[in-house]
Structure 1
């Protein structure tokens, strides 16, 4: 497994990256015995980074104070939940035992600790220890800013005690550079951000020992981050996180920040496309990237600095993209990464978009969330008008249509974009020409989600496969070829062919993922025809047996009558799908991937859901599928 991973990874590298990796390996070898231990990273007096944070907390609404108070009480009672899992509740008298930072709540096991050099720990391949994501999640220390804010709101001494206990425990259990906490730059950056915000809020109420511990952790982090940067094929959201960490650490430690700021501004223009779509082909990863950048902009404003109008405009474009998307719309990977958070969030991308509008005081779609993020960045100056009609985001390859069909409010997305970002397209899914549909705000035809990363195994492959998405596949093969959990050896290229404006709008696109193996291009047209949506699939080149899939949202049922599949809720039909003549199969669940449908509503959770699959011959003349919403029953008098 490891040998195959290294071979596939090398195949995706250009000569310059191979040279970089050789140098990186040398630095890792040297670092095994260089500047290890806290004595090499003495504490320095930390400078305030977010100088207006106290004022912002003073203006918190009652709802924001309550939300922070609730999250803080959870932390003080030993509760922690993330990624679909609740950790065993800890005794309030011992909230942060040393083994917490390497404990896996799913397997009940522990990862190597301070006795092991961080780069000796193999977290990429299945080792029986579980998914490293869970250990890293609690190690981000994102409960600490919440506890600090709660302490600012009142005279309760418990939050400061809990913060000091967490800092002391983490410091003791994770010396530089031992254990899993130092293995990834993004984790180092996120933890540093949590400590910087916490220190800015309550440093005067902390003990000298706690301040020194924070200073040592930040000094070690400032040394470690630029030593192992994410470059070349790895330069995605990880690089943005590392640069954000470097910039904020520079402000806290009184060091030069211009280099990190310039690079972060440049990455903003690379990783958020001109039309606002995220280059990684995932709205939530784009939101994660945008939140890092926005946090640095907020810090820059406090210090009379700026990232420039181009970066600010690019964030604004991202906010507009999210405002066009249906609520909680998702495609590509989503590991629920957040920069500032109170915990579970109903619509993370919308919350970040709301903060982007609130930062300069623009109107926008106001997020319902009363979270810590809105305190730092502000909320939109007013509610902006809703978006209706057809909008095509050509750079990112997403078309969105909002309108009325058969008396229902329909929201449709059509994906005709690239697989992902950079040579490995790490977080993309093989979902070219897939679509999703919501009716009256309810998901009906959905993207399947993510499930798990390193420990996902064959199910990780299923959730990013073509067969799991609402598009066409040939011989159960993927459009793009997987070569690892975050790598693709062959990538389909999708392209937009034509957009016809409203009222009888249509969008036509194609991809070449099956050209080399099957000698055909897949072309799909999605168009409005009266009160229905028509989906026409063509295989350009020759006639092939194919499968057209529609993954139904969990909780909905399907009844087939002839060539019509009726998608129902509580016995009432929401959507009728009329297929051409062929074989229609409906199944949910199954022991192995592909037996039936599954959706992952969040990371680490998968539930069975109906999957409708039509099978038949498709050629250049095309086959047509009709999506017909069934009118809502009028409310009674």
Structure 2
């Protein structure tokens, strides 16, 4: 009988292979446009990769991929000094009810990820009984350790679209971007298992509350979150043998999972340790059977679980080191994540020659990548603010761990001498010279840091010195800590008091560790506090920063009183690849009183809907001048990778003039320059109800334009009731001599209602402010068009909002935004 499903699958496979070949060729063509040297290196890399492909695949298919490394209690001593947690630190920092609510959803395997809405994720069947792969026996053995009433999770499922990948597919054969609506980021996001830290924090809260009332902790409460933690990890390990299925297709996601496993494990472990200390004080406790047991022997976690957990952490490290996302001259946050993951894993696992080489490699490459991926002005080189924070979130926790490596790790580093094995280049290299260390009989103790939320997330604390004159540990070259200071300065400048950042460039909602999940307790402010904490532990002072010009990123900040504007004008990022930048040259975002008013519409998605991906990075989706049928920078639309490339930086945007309240910039994306001038003018004066008063109207450059005279009687106060006026005006001039209709868009934040007047003015009421927007070309008032659009606050999410558009055939278009206090 003809099997229609098999025919269809074969057809799709052939189509994917054809596009895959085109993809590789397309990459090389694009690379030649950016750098012929990099392209030649890539050709050699692809040749070696294809030569090894069949051999590697055969090895994975014919052999058990679970590791046979001997892991026992004596061999794997967990260095908890790096991750010690003081349980009482966080209760005042978080919404207890919300944490417990989210933990309850996790217990039911309900997840809301990347706009999916809350959905239960359940595997329909157990391990395929017909599976004859050498891993199958081990899978069933591990599966037997899971509680009988536990429901298995489908780790291959995009539970937003319903599409599922095959868990038996070798990870290098996993394909995506060929079926509209199917988004591989959904199972990847689930597989990062950041939600395990919610379980750990819920257990922390419960322990804290019970400890306050001095109650003996009940066994069923102990097991509630801990057993779910163990069951989910055993479920993952048994369902996802190393190298098979969607969860091993991206090394970066393997990293994020390992980091969250380690941090969650250590939170649980610290709770267990504290609980045992409490019961030891009681000397002996009675079990539910009435038998007396020595509570000091209670570990909380089963030995079988710890064996498979530790072995899997090693397997994660092995997979990362064998799949480094490195390329000469063409690498980014994925490789930075790989390095961070290796440092976490190597700091967590015991000293072996192999693991010590991972740590040595990780330290040297972290130093190299800090200087490579972060610009001199502290911004990230990918031209995306969200990716800047993601990359910084990788760097600073890793640096914090390195500052507190225990002595046995330092001794292991000392034994490796003046060279290290570079796993990316596959050869030995001399140490970078960007770091050094001292061993001086240190006695490390970790205390709660001043920033309690940081202590929870990182376990970074203070250090006591042992004997000797020099402080033991790792010290970094001035080039490194100066760059870290600038990363902090850039971050602190672009974030407001409520933790909101402008959405410039791509935003895939990526995080290394969980800092959101509806909790709104950490977010970007937590990352900023972490930066300060680590820099402070390096003994570096942080000065107040008033910098508003970041030429390397191409970001300029106009600010006066309650208004702040972020103007984009500069590099497309990634050394010309432009993979995470948008066509947003001369666009801006405007905040009024910490509230976003004019916004960047965001990113929404990557590969699931290619047309929407390109729409959200197009010029017309930004607050700048656009022309129908033209883009500031062009891209291909043939293969999946085209969604992360531009053909060439033809915009060549540059700043012409800049001050705190004045900006002029231009780009060449239309062949003929588009020049934009922005100016903030402020006014403050007092008048009486009869129109007489005192005060001044001032422009943004401080020159007085109008003085209202004092009352005739010489008194300081005008007659009648007093009206205080404190208004701000933003004026804009767009100039382009291209003989085409020109459009200027203003995308307003969701929740702001636009009202249109008969005089061609649109009015927006923000509650405490009235905002009026108008435009003219010459003496003619341009009539506004008000349209709906979809604003994307994060990956996979869209909400309806409104935008205003003005159109004109003239070369010079003038517009103004008046912000009036109600």
| Cα 1:131–1:28 shift into 2, 3 Å | same
- Residue among 582, 597, 600 paired with 2:792: 600
Q: Is the 8 A contact 2:775 2:813 kept in 1?
A: no
**Could you list the runs of 5+ residues in structure 2 that have no partner in the other structure?**
1-18, 32-38, 123-145, 208-216, 270-298, 406-472, 637-641, 682-698, 700-727
Between stretches 482-491 and 338-347, larger displacement belongs to 338-347
- Paired with 2:743 and 2:204, the residues of 1 have a C-alpha distance of 58
What's the CA shift string for 1:478-506, capped at 9, x where partnerless? 1111222111112234443433435xx32
- Residue among 199, 216, 240 paired with 1:174: 240
| Cα 1:498–1:440 shift into 2, 3 Å | same
| Cα 1:570–1:586 shift into 2, 3 Å | farther
| Cα 1:96–1:248 shift into 2, 3 Å | farther
| Cα 1:227–1:584 shift into 2, 3 Å | farther
The alpha-carbon deviation at position 563 of structure 1 amounts to 4.0
> Where does 1:11-50 land on structure 2 (aligned, <5 Å)?
11-13=29-31, 14-34=39-59, 37-42=64-69, 44=71, 45-49=75-79
SS of match in other structure, 2:805: strand
SS of match in other structure, 1:611: strand
SS of match in other structure, 1:547: strand
- Paired with 2:345 and 2:491, the residues of 1 have a C-alpha distance of 30
The alpha-carbon deviation at position 71 of structure 1 amounts to 4.3
> Where does 1:272-287 land on structure 2 (aligned, <5 Å)?
272-287=374-389
- Partner residue, 1:374: none
Between stretches 341-350 and 248-257, larger displacement belongs to 341-350
> Where does 1:350-499 land on structure 2 (aligned, <5 Å)?
350-361=525-536, 391-404=548-561, 409-483=562-636, 484-499=642-657
- Partner residue, 1:588: 787
What's the CA shift string for 1:512-542, capped at 9, x where partnerless? 2222xxxx012212122333122222226x5
Between stretches 395-404 and 131-140, larger displacement belongs to 395-404
Is 1:266 paired with 2:359? no
- Partner residue, 2:400: 298
- Residue among 185, 209, 218 paired with 2:313: 218
- Paired with 2:148 and 2:624, the residues of 1 have a C-alpha distance of 51
- Paired with 2:384 and 2:300, the residues of 1 have a C-alpha distance of 41
Between stretches 93-102 and 215-224, larger displacement belongs to 93-102
- Residue among 153, 158, 164 paired with 1:104: 158
> Where does 1:69-88 land on structure 2 (aligned, <5 Å)?
69=100, 71-88=102-119
SS of match in other structure, 2:260: helix
- Partner residue, 2:677: 525
- Residue among 800, 803, 807 paired with 1:611: 803
The alpha-carbon deviation at position 3 of structure 1 amounts to 5.9
Structure index of larger Rg: 2
Between stretches 293-302 and 322-331, larger displacement belongs to 322-331
- Paired with 1:187 and 1:543, the residues of 2 have a C-alpha distance of 48
The alpha-carbon deviation at position 577 of structure 1 amounts to 3.0
- Paired with 2:79 and 2:583, the residues of 1 have a C-alpha distance of 41
- Paired with 1:312 and 1:345, the residues of 2 have a C-alpha distance of 32
- Partner residue, 2:303: 208
- Partner residue, 1:121: 174
- Paired with 2:370 and 2:43, the residues of 1 have a C-alpha distance of 25
Between stretches 196-205 and 332-341, larger displacement belongs to 196-205
What's the CA shift string for 1:141-182, capped at 9, x where partnerless? 112233234445524221210111011110111112110000
SS of match in other structure, 1:199: helix
- Paired with 2:810 and 2:309, the residues of 1 have a C-alpha distance of 63
- Paired with 1:339 and 1:588, the residues of 2 have a C-alpha distance of 37
**Could you list the runs of 5+ residues in structure 1 that have no partner in the other structure?**
363-376, 590-596
Between stretches 75-84 and 236-245, larger displacement belongs to 75-84
Is 1:322 paired with 2:491? yes
- Residue among 659, 666, 673 paired with 1:510: 666
- Paired with 2:268 and 2:238, the residues of 1 have a C-alpha distance of 21
- Residue among 716, 731, 735 paired with 1:538: 735
- Paired with 1:26 and 1:151, the residues of 2 have a C-alpha distance of 50
- Paired with 2:784 and 2:95, the residues of 1 have a C-alpha distance of 51
| Cα 1:43–1:240 shift into 2, 3 Å | farther
- Paired with 2:253 and 2:401, the residues of 1 have a C-alpha distance of 20
- Paired with 1:469 and 1:182, the residues of 2 have a C-alpha distance of 36
| Cα 1:616–1:402 shift into 2, 3 Å | same
- Paired with 2:768 and 2:478, the residues of 1 have a C-alpha distance of 53
- Paired with 1:577 and 1:47, the residues of 2 have a C-alpha distance of 68
- Paired with 2:342 and 2:740, the residues of 1 have a C-alpha distance of 53
TM-score (normalizing by structure 1): 0.85
The alpha-carbon deviation at position 509 of structure 1 amounts to 1.5
Q: Is the 8 A contact 1:49 1:248 kept in 2?
A: no
- Partner residue, 1:187: 253
- Paired with 1:148 and 1:60, the residues of 2 have a C-alpha distance of 12
Between stretches 261-270 and 216-225, larger displacement belongs to 216-225
The alpha-carbon deviation at position 60 of structure 1 amounts to 3.6
- Partner residue, 1:53: 83
The alpha-carbon deviation at position 454 of structure 1 amounts to 1.0
Q: Is the 8 A contact 2:771 2:817 kept in 1?
A: no
| Cα 1:46–1:538 shift into 2, 3 Å | farther
- Paired with 1:32 and 1:481, the residues of 2 have a C-alpha distance of 37
Between stretches 204-213 and 5-14, larger displacement belongs to 5-14
Q: Is the 8 A contact 2:745 2:803 kept in 1?
A: yes
Q: Is the 8 A contact 1:526 1:535 kept in 2?
A: yes
- Residue among 464, 488, 508 paired with 1:335: 508
Between stretches 394-403 and 562-571, larger displacement belongs to 562-571
- Paired with 2:766 and 2:534, the residues of 1 have a C-alpha distance of 41
TM-align CA RMSD: 3.0
- Residue among 775, 782, 788 paired with 1:578: 775
What's the CA shift string for 1:559-602, capped at 9, x where partnerless? 1534433334579842323333475452434xxxxxxx321122
- Residue among 624, 628, 632 paired with 2:814: 624
- Paired with 2:480 and 2:333, the residues of 1 have a C-alpha distance of 16
- Paired with 1:560 and 1:31, the residues of 2 have a C-alpha distance of 68
The alpha-carbon deviation at position 610 of structure 1 amounts to 1.9
- Partner residue, 1:567: 764
- Residue among 724, 742, 745 paired with 1:549: 745
The alpha-carbon deviation at position 302 of structure 1 amounts to 1.9
The alpha-carbon deviation at position 47 of structure 1 amounts to 4.2
Between stretches 543-552 and 236-245, larger displacement belongs to 543-552
SS of match in other structure, 2:749: coil
| Cα 1:423–1:498 shift into 2, 3 Å | closer
| Cα 1:341–1:248 shift into 2, 3 Å | same
- Paired with 2:245 and 2:160, the residues of 1 have a C-alpha distance of 19
